[in-house]
Chain A
Amino acid sequence: MKKCNFDILIDDYLLNKLEKKEKENFEEHYFNCEPCFEKMVARDELIAVIKNQGHRIFADEERPEEKKEVFSFGKILSFLTPKQWAYAAVSVSVTLVLLVVMLNVVPFQKKTTPTQQPFYYEFDEGRVRGENLRLISPVIDIEAVPSQFMWAPLGDNVEYKISIYFNHHPFWTATTKENTISLPDDVKNRMQASRKYSWQVKAFSPQGTLLAVSPKVQFKITAE
């Protein structure tokens, strides 16, 4: 496909990031430039699929960080030669010995790493606070007021607190033991098109210990 200087505007056009004049100029351009139009149609299809199926396509990417670290460890191993690993091991050992001498602590306490733990079974105090909780829907701009919010479950006996924010101020909050919640009609009626909202979920153990916190995810209701 022939390269055109305008094609850098395709994404911004499809994602509605262009100013009015830029948008019109680009539209006039693609009426006259077949390569740009073809590329734009293909990109539009790609974006639509990602927006609709992203939760399935990117399930791995959406998992908490610690699981991916296990995967990448094998890759790191293959990056260095055995000789390089030997040097690295010696350097680390020397550093540790120095630390022991200087701080007078024993650094080799047997401690399980977070990668060995299923993160949601650790209910005892102070172990899993601040773990990641994955939001499923809505996580992108949507056409209508969402009737349901969904996140990845963390196991039985977990209570979730969902909070919706508008302009960084709390808009609505509720608690549930399910991993979905439906918005009451009065709340849905208060939500307006063209506004940006964000939401977050916190998980608590039956004792009230904070187990996991999701990132705050923003979405916009695009319909007029």
Chain B
Amino acid sequence: MKQKLDLDEIIVKYRPILSFRIKKYLGHQNPDWEDVVNEIITNVIEKIKKGEFRGESSIGTFIYTISSRRIVDYIRQKSKTLKHIPEPKNFPAPEQEFESRQRAKTLTEAIQKLKPKYRKVLHLYYYKGLSRNEVAEKLGISPRRVSERVDYAQKLLRKIIKK
């Protein structure tokens, strides 16, 4: 019972982390990402049940290592079989799409409410794609201050959205 509870916790905790990493490697539009995540989770559970996780590393590192191997396998397999076949598009579920559009809209409005000095740093750093040093030079502040300003902008956005 104890082990089952732990496994459930592991799935709940690591599914979003795994999904994030797998989508980053496979591409957000790749329809395979969810299957790959499920395969990794199944693999992790099997290995834990077989006692292959001995606690020499953290459970996070254990799952990270398994996911790394699966990513390599996936890329190898894909490059062999689907080298010249275009990827089909993955259409998210309508409710998922609606929710994510709403979130994007709220965030867009929140950014527009920020003070100019925060908008400026987001504009140069993320939209214009300048490096941290280039942004610092343009704004006459230190590169460290650029990161701090971005962090603070994010905090303000959270506050604006919560209101």
Contact = CB atoms under 8 A, between A and B. Distances in A.
Interface of A: 8, 11, 15, 24, 27-28, 30-32, 37, 39-54, 56-58, 61, 139-141, 218
Interface of B: 14, 16-17, 20-21, 58, 60-61, 63-64, 68, 103-104, 107-108, 111-112, 119-120, 122-123, 125-129, 132, 147, 150, 154, 157-158
Given A56-B108, A57-B111, A58-B123, A31 B63 contact: yes
Given A8-B147, A39-B154, 5 more contacts: A31-B63, A42-B158, A47-B126, A61-B119, A141-B129
A52 B122 contact: no
A48 B127 CA distance: 10
A49 B129 contact: no
Nearest to A3: B151
A28 B61 contact: yes
B15 to A, nearest CB: 12
17 contacts: A11-B150, A28-B64, A31-B17, A40-B20, A42-B154, A44-B20, A45-B107, A46-B126, A52-B104, A53-B104, A53-B108, A57-B112, A57-B119, A57-B127, A58-B119, A61-B123, A139-B128
Given A54-B123, A54-B127, A46 B157 contact: yes
B161 to A, nearest CB: 10
Contacts, number: 81
Nearest to A61: B123
B127 A51 contact: yes
Given A37-B17, A37-B20, A50-B127, A32 B108 contact: no
A39 B126 CA distance: 16
Given A58-B123, A141-B129, A49 B20 contact: no
Contacts of A140: 127, 129
Contacts of B63: 31
A104 to B, nearest CB: 38
A31 B107 CA distance: 26
Nearest 9 interchain pairs by C-beta: A32-B60, A31-B60, A54-B127, A31-B64, A50-B126, A58-B123, A61-B123, A49-B107, A53-B108
Contacts of B132: 11
Contacts of A27: 21, 64
Most chain A CB within a 10 A radius of its CB, from B17, B58, B120:
B17
Contacts of B58: 32
B31 to A, nearest CB: 16
A43 B127 CA distance: 13
A27 B24 CA distance: 11
A44 B154 CA distance: 11
Nearest to B61: A28
A49 B61 contact: no
